[in-house]
Amino acid sequence: MFVSGIIINVIALIFPWFSIIIYSKLLIAVFWSKTIKQKPELSLFYCRFVIDVVFSFEVLSNFVMHLLSLTSFVEFFISNRNFPLFIVWPLYLIMSMRAFLVFIIAVDRTFATYFPMTFFKYRKHVPTFFIMSFVMSYFALDASVVFVFCGEGINIQPGCVGMRCLLGTCYEQYWLTYEKATFFLKKVSSHLSPPGWDNLIQPNRLILIDTLIIIVFDLFPLVIYSMFPNADMYIGPINGVCKTLGFGIESYLVSKSLWCRVPVNNLNANRGMVAVQSAKVDTNQQQFQKF
């Protein structure tokens, strides 16, 4: 790997930590300290936050592994050439699961927007646990692609820590096709969202934030990988760098969207109490003047 790739890899170590801290604070605020009100319509988003935390840990492990492979620790990867597979494959597996979940959330919000009566009548009969089980079942499909359909193309070279030499070009093409397909579907769903940021309810705002981040930070690495397959040598693991940078920005925007409502509601409540008290004072003064 060139010096530019090493520098980018070192800088990119910050992004996963940022996402882990932000989303962990949000989850603690919702489920532990209760400073943010838990809302049933955001249940799928809470699941996505958990996946984002796990994914950020995986990306961080991948970045560290890439850096260690440039030191004398590479002897460990040469002696245990299957070890990097158990870091890299879960990374792309979780990434694909997250993309699938984001698409389901986009479809869920689209139905809630255009068919509200039907949605609120039947959506409650589809529990979040069932939806997440369906998302997790993607593991079986991905595992069959890796070890059955593309199993013959896997030939791990000693010291290899990259996707192509670990999982093979067959899985790489499958993953690129899957990412492009989910990107297209999510983009179509985003166009069906109602215009006007100020008029959006909170779940639709969150899915709009997610869609904008996906368009910017998911499309770019796909284009780079398609045009320059060996880009990792020059700029490091560009896919992980772009996605974690996008997750970092997204986590900040999501936290602002969720946290900003707490003080505003309290402020409005306080203003309402002051207004009521002022009205009582005015009424008492008017009654006193009559006497």
- Predicted TM-score (pTM) of the model is 0.77
Residue 30 lies in a domain: yes
Q: Exposure of 121 by Cβ count < 10 A (0-12 exposed, 13-18 middle, 19+ buried)?
A: exposed
Q: Are 93 and 139 in contact (CB under 8 A)?
A: yes
Give the pLDDT band of residue 153 (cuts 50, 70, 90).
Answer: low
255 membership: H or E segment, kind and range? helix 238-259
Answer yes or no: is 281 within a domain: no
279 in any annotated domain: no
- Residue range 62-87: average pLDDT? 86
Q: Answer whether residue 267 shows pLDDT above 50.
A: no
Main-chain phi, psi angles of 72, to 5 degrees: -65, -15
Q: DSSP H helical segments within 115-237, as ranges?
A: 116-122, 128-136, 138-144, 163-191, 202-217, 219-227, 232-235
**Could you tell me if residue 285 is inside a domain?**
no
Rounded distance, CA 102 to CA 217, Å?
15
- Residue 264 counted as domain residue: no
**Strand, helix or coil at 50?**
helix
In a domain? residue 181: yes
CA-CA distance, 138 to 58, in Å (whole number)?
A: 18
Q: State the residue range of the domain holding 179.
A: 3-259
Residues present in the chain in total: 291
Reported as a single tens digit per residue, the pLDDT across 21-54 is: 988 999 999 999 988 888 888 899 899 999 999 9
Distance CA 44, CA 130 (A): 11
Count of domains forming the chain: 1
Between CA 113 and CA 5 the distance in angstroms is: 44
287 or 17, higher pLDDT: 17
In a domain, 200, yes or no: yes
Instruction: Indicate the pLDDT class of residue 72, thresholds 50, 70 and 90.
Output: confident
Q: What is the CATH number of the domain that holds 126?
A: 1.20.1070.10
- With respect to residue 277, please indicate whether it lies within any of the assigned structural domains: no
